[in-house]
Structure 1
Amino acid sequence: MKVIGILGGIASGKSTVASLFRNQGAVVADADQIGHQVLRDEATKHEIREKFGSDVFQIDGEVDRRQLAAKVFGGDDLSRKRLAELEKITHPRIKTRLQALIQATMDTPGGPPPALILDAALLVRAGWSDICDNLVFIDSPLEQRLQRSRQRGWSDSEFSAREAAQEKLKEKRELSDYIIRNGGDLVELDQQVEHYWRERVLSPTS
């Protein structure tokens, strides 16, 4: 089983590509979803409360992700310091869960699937790329990415702040083994995913 990491800029279509890989027979590990699970962990919440205060929590005691994001994605030096503190709390826990999921998938009765796709926004920065066999970069035009982020309810300044918190696109592209271009329609994107799956995953020489 190959572990394939998906790289790309904010709103580049990484999750869409991961879903198309799922249609080919891959298992998808969504680091964002796992991150949400980690934020519900009592030990994680305790550390976050100590570092960021009670105002980043909802009445029910769960982390208010919008309030927390507002503190760490401000774009200034204080926000960057807070982001680093949050990552120290969450990233090791997310990696542990990712590794457990990979192992469980490899131990699937009847044999593992051909590939597990790791969809993680901070794949390289968090040190999760070292558990991947290959890295695929999703190349999408800036204006399309901005449009998708607006559909999520993000302002352009929030988009810029989140993008700045990640690795440079040039660095991600250079680290990748393969590029999938997401500038057309879904059919074209699916064809590229199918080609990669056939040539790089199912091929005995890949």
Structure 2
Amino acid sequence: MIKVGLTGSIGTGKSTVSQIFKKLGAYVIDADKVVHKLLENEKVKREIAEVFGNEVFNTNGEIDKKKLAKIVFNFPEMKKKLEKILHPKVRQEIENFIKEVYKRDKNAVIIAEIPLLIETGLYKNYDKIIVVYAPKDLQIKRLLSKGFSKEEALSRINSQIDIEEKLKYADIVIENTGSLEELEEKVKKVYEQLKQEAEEK
């Protein structure tokens, strides 16, 4: 088995890369999806209500993710409080996933897609770190095409460690500046290399 931490910055194409890995046969877990599931958990909702009050809930008693995002991206101290609630639970979910996969497949290539892999220090838990790279101007362009304003795009990008800094932690860099076909080809080569390493371990 080989445990791989996959990261990048917003707009670099991490999720596209992890989906390609999944199609090729890797076991993929996405920290953002784990967070979305946790935000529907009643215990987590109570913890969030204690810190943020009821204004982050909609009329159905569900967490309004847009309102929550607006607060945490504008107030760093609130971001820290939210991370304190969520990060240990996300870590636990990922660990459980890895244990379950290992029971079934000793030669597994496990990819954990974690946006804050470097920021949280979680990169130390993985055999290999993959950074999906795109230059900042391309990140902004992609976010604008998704409907973000320039200000929102910059605020999201700046809330994470600069992509150039993340490259220093990478064992493997997948550059995502061309077509989807080119990206698929790059990911396929990386997957074959990881599969071989997993079988040799």
Q: Aligning the two structures, in what range does the TM-score lie when normalised by the shorter sequence? A: over 0.9
Which consecutive residues of structure 1, in runs of 5 or more, have no partner in the other structure?
Answer: none
Counterpart residue number, 1:144:
138
CA contact (8 A) 2:12 2:134 kept: yes
CA RMSD of aligned residues (A): 1.7
Aligned residues: 200
C-alpha separation in 2, matches of 1:169 and 1:184: 17
Q: TM-score under structure 2 normalisation? A: 0.92
Q: Does 1:85 align with 2:81?
A: yes
C-alpha separation in 2, matches of 1:113 and 1:63: 39
Q: Say which SS state the counterpart of residue 179 (structure 1) adopts.
A: strand
C-alpha separation in 1, matches of 2:44 and 2:22: 30
C-alpha separation in 2, matches of 1:146 and 1:168: 13
C-alpha separation in 2, matches of 1:120 and 1:142: 19
Q: TM-score under structure 1 normalisation? A: 0.90
- CA shift in 2, pair 1:189/1:71, >3 Å: same
Q: Say which SS state the counterpart of residue 107 (structure 1) adopts.
A: helix
C-alpha separation in 2, matches of 1:129 and 1:50: 30
C-alpha separation in 2, matches of 1:127 and 1:45: 26
CA deviations on 1:131-155 (whole Å, 9 max, x unpaired) are 3211011111323222221233222
CA contact (8 A) 1:35 1:94 kept: yes
1:126, distance to aligned residue in structure 2 (A): 2.5
CA contact (8 A) 2:130 2:171 kept: yes
Counterpart residue number, 1:94:
90
Q: Does 1:173 align with 2:167?
A: yes
Q: Does 1:123 align with 2:110?
A: no
Counterpart residue number, 1:65:
65
Q: Which runs of 4+ in 1 moved over 4 A?
A: 203-206
Paired letter, 1:126: T
1:205, distance to aligned residue in structure 2 (A): 6.1
CA contact (8 A) 2:26 2:108 kept: yes
C-alpha separation in 2, matches of 1:16 and 1:112: 26
Counterpart residue number, 1:196:
190
Q: Say which SS state the counterpart of residue 152 (structure 2) adopts.
A: helix
Q: Say which SS state the counterpart of residue 166 (structure 1) adopts.
A: coil
Q: Does 1:185 align with 2:179?
A: yes
CA contact (8 A) 1:114 1:202 kept: no
Range with greater deviation from structure 2 (83-92 or 115-124): 115-124
Counterpart residue number, 1:21:
21
Range with greater deviation from structure 2 (172-181 or 137-146): 137-146
Paired letter, 1:199: Q
C-alpha separation in 1, matches of 2:186 and 2:26: 15
Counterpart residue number, 1:6:
6
- CA shift in 2, pair 1:113/1:28, >3 Å: farther
